[in-house]
């Protein structure tokens, strides 16, 4: 191969890499500015720095325990401005590794967004998310989720909890109707917090939608259940 042609190929590859790095940096900086502007307009605190302790702080949320090199960033602290409950919104990263047939190690990076709302109440485990095709298939081999009186809700949502009574207490008729009309997020209940997330990064308005969804569920907890929890 002619040396000049070889050099041009190398230069072209380097140029593509540099352009990719620049574009990625510009997108990252643009997102920081957008989220910072939204946070400040609402009176929230914004910190773009990485926080490697979020997975330990919320260790009961399975979505934050995936892979390795886990950290949160673009963190927004929300103190009682939405639903009168403290909350934290953030972007999140983790990575996985695999070795191919040639023995080469490859790393895959994953990014998504989430909000965590402080319930200020003792909670029990509960998972709520949209029904997926795989869920329908597993019904045939006995791995069914919790069904509700609302057939529409049962068709559209997958619900899991070790305590069925708890699931029924939280997801009563008014809450099911509320969730059917709200944007969809994956929901997990921890010991005293609730997380809402999707497996992608949120647009700015989606942080508000996730906050409103979680607060809407907590606002609708029955008085009898609140008395029991308190």
Reported confidence tier of residue 102, pLDDT bands at 50, 70, 90: confident
Cβ neighbours, 10 Å, residue 2: 7
Q: pTM for this structure? A: 0.82
Q: Which helix (H) or strand (E) holds 21?
A: helix 3-42
Domain ranges of the chain: 43-229
Q: Which region among 4-8, 62-66, 91-95, 156-160 has the lowest average model confidence (pLDDT)? A: 4-8
Residue 19 has pLDDT above 60, yes or no: no
Residues 146 and 43: their CA atoms lie apart, in Å, by: 40
Residue 1 has pLDDT above 60, yes or no: no
CA dist 133 → 28, 151, 158, 220 (Å): 34, 17, 11, 29
Write out pLDDT tens, residues 165-205.
999 999 999 999 999 999 999 999 999 999 999 999 999 99
Q: Which helix (H) or strand (E) holds 135?
A: helix 133-138
Residue 139 has pLDDT above 60, yes or no: no
């Amino acid at each position: 191969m002619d040396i000049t042609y070889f050099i041009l190929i190398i230069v072209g590859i380097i140029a593509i890499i540099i352009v990719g790095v620049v574009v990625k940096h510009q997108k990252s900086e643009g997102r920081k500015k957008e989220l910072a502007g939204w946070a400040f307009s609402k009176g929230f605190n914004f910190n773009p720095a990485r926080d490697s302790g979020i997975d330990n702080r919320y260790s009961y949320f399975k979505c934050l325990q995936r892979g390795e090199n886990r950290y949160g960033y673009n963190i927004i602290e929300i103190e009682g401005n939405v639903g009168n409950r403290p909350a934290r919104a953030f972007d999140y990263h983790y990575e996985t590794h695999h070795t191919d047939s040639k023995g080469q190690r490859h790393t895959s990076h994953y990014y998504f967004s989430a909000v965590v709302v402080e319930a200020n109440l003792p909670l029990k485990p509960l998972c709520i998310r949209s029904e997926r095709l795989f869920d329908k298939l597993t019904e045939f081999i006995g791995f069914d989720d919790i069904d509700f009186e609302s057939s529409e809700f049962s068709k559209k949502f997958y619900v899991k909890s070790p305590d069925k009574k708890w699931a029924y207490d939280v997801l009563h008729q008014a809450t099911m109707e509320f969730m059917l009309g709200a944007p969809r997020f994956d929901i997990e209940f921890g010991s005293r917090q609730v997380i809402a997330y999707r497996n992608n990064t949120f647009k700015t308005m989606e942080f508000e939608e996730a906050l409103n969804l979680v607060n809407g569920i907590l606002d609708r907890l029955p008085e009898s259940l609140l008395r029991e929890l308190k």
